[in-house]
Structure 1
Amino acid sequence: MEETSSPGIGLLVEKVMAQMEVAAEEDIELNIQNKPAIRKIQMLPLLTDFLSKKKMQQEFLDHGILTLLKSWLDPLPDGSLPNATLRSFILIILTQVMPVDISLEDGREQLKKSGLGKVIMFLSKSDEETTANRKLAKHLVQNWCRTIFNKTTSYCNLRNSVIPRTKKPLMKQSTRVELREADLDLEGPRRPCSSGTASGSVSVPEPAPCVYEVNPLTNFKPEVARRYRRSREVRESECFGRIEKKMSGLKKSNKKKTLQAPKPAVL
């Protein structure tokens, strides 16, 4: 059959993807006209039939199907999300029917170029998304992050891993996969930004342990302290001298008054 040959599959994939592009454009026009956007919904049975065929999945990926799926999930011109059934279909396709193997470099590159990861991240946090779809989206992003960054949520793996012991850790170690929009850039692990994170989370600072390999610098200067001590002793000595002189003058004045004879009264 023609479909089993590589050129035949390639032509068929191109035809299906062209119809997907037209459906997305028609839905945009319908939304602008305040009409129901139903063209993509009408294509779902056809798309399900093709994407469920294992022999055609790689061909769809090579032709950029992820970019098209991202455009299908993008908000419509009026700001509303596409049909919930359509969103569920795409999430199920990505999680069950045609999962992207991002353990391979080609898979990571395809996902990065498509921008699909950021849209899935948005759906996993959106209040407008259904609970079932949010769970699917979050599960999908967790799998991608776990594969890309070699993260794990298994307690056994964390328990068996070798972790160097320190007197006091600077930050608490988290056993869950942290989901950040920057993770889906697929460029590998990076250092956290001090001005915040993509997710907007703020870490609580903790005091650093007082364990130093090199003693910290001090502002204490012995010669300055000695000069200050001598100056203070001189000031105290002068102050005590003035007090003693004043007290001595008061004593002499009182003594003269007591030795002076009383004058006889004149009658």
Structure 2
Amino acid sequence: MADAEIEDMRKRMTHAAQMDAINRREGKPAMHKLKMLPEVVSLLNRNQYVNSLVDPEINLLEAVKFFLEPLDDGSLPAYNIQRDLLTALGKLPINKETLIASGIGKVVVFYTRSKRPEPGIKRMAERLLAEWTRPILQRSDDYSKRVYQEAEFDPTYGPPFSFALS
């Protein structure tokens, strides 16, 4: 039941992204993604579907990536789309396999590196990126467990002498 609903939503989201791209090329307003946004956010926030939402086989996050990607003319999607989807992504338990299958990480990296997104959106993307890369790099967010590199110090050893050329 849940998988069928998520698969249907994925197809509709992909179609909406394609329709918006076509409308932009024709000079018409691109409203399909904005109209679907409340429905998409509602689905992403459902706790009973969490495992299905991040399943690489169903790959709903690929459709979310299509919503967040810059349009063909280089313009960013509407602020509401960016804000709501990045907030919803922060609540999902996304793992390495999901990131690879969906490609959502590449779009989030774009939002962190580009100068065009609003500062709030950029901070949300940076937070997501830090949250996702920690397990991949096997780092903890607990600073009390942090391992610091220690170096030996020999007080008798000094810097090498430098000779002034006159």
Same fold (TM over 0.5): yes
Structure 1 residue aligned with 2:75 = 80
Which whole-Å deviations, capped at 9, do the CAs of 1:58-82 have from their partners, x for residues lacking one? Answer: 2232210121111111111111111
Runs of at least 5 residues in structure 1 that lack an aligned partner in the other structure? 1-7, 103-107, 169-208, 211-267
Please say if 1:111 is aligned against 2:104.
no
Counterpart AA for 1:68: A
Runs of at least 5 residues in structure 2 that lack an aligned partner in the other structure? 161-166
Please say if 1:149 is aligned against 2:140.
no
Give 1:1-267 correspondences, 5 Å limit: 8-62=1-55, 63-96=58-91, 98-100=92-94, 102=95, 108-152=96-140, 155-158=143-146, 161=147, 163-167=149-153
How many residue pairs get aligned? The number is 154
Separation in 2 of the partners of 1:110 and 1:152?
20
Counterpart AA for 1:88: R
Separation in 2 of the partners of 1:90 and 1:119?
12
Normalising by structure 1, we get a TM-score of: 0.53
Which aligned segments of 4 or more residues in structure 1 are displaced greater than 4 angstroms? 152-155
Which whole-Å deviations, capped at 9, do the CAs of 1:185-239 have from their partners, x for residues lacking one? Answer: xxxxxxxxxxxxxxxxxxxxxxxx99xxxxxxxxxxxxxxxxxxxxxxxxxxxxx
Separation in 1 of the partners of 2:6 and 2:45?
13
Which whole-Å deviations, capped at 9, do the CAs of 1:96-139 have from their partners, x for residues lacking one? Answer: 3x241x2xxxxx11111222112101101221100110010001
Is the 1:93–1:99 Cα contact (8 Å) retained in structure 2? no
SS of equivalent to 1:34: coil
Structure 1 residue aligned with 2:163 = none
Is the 2:86–2:124 Cα contact (8 Å) retained in structure 1? yes
Which whole-Å deviations, capped at 9, do the CAs of 1:140-173 have from their partners, x for residues lacking one? Answer: 1111122211235655434xx36342359xxxxx
Separation in 2 of the partners of 1:16 and 1:114?
15
Is the 2:54–2:93 Cα contact (8 Å) retained in structure 1? no
Is the 2:6–2:60 Cα contact (8 Å) retained in structure 1? no
Q: Greater CA radius of gyration, 1 or 2?
A: 1
Overall identity of the aligned pairs, in %: 28
Separation in 2 of the partners of 1:25 and 1:79?
15
Separation in 2 of the partners of 1:155 and 1:60?
31
Provide the alpha-carbon RMSD of the alignment: 2.2
SS of equivalent to 1:37: coil
Structure of greater relative contact order (alpha carbons < 8 Å, 6+ residues apart): 2
Normalising by structure 2, we get a TM-score of: 0.82
Separation in 2 of the partners of 1:133 and 1:119?
12
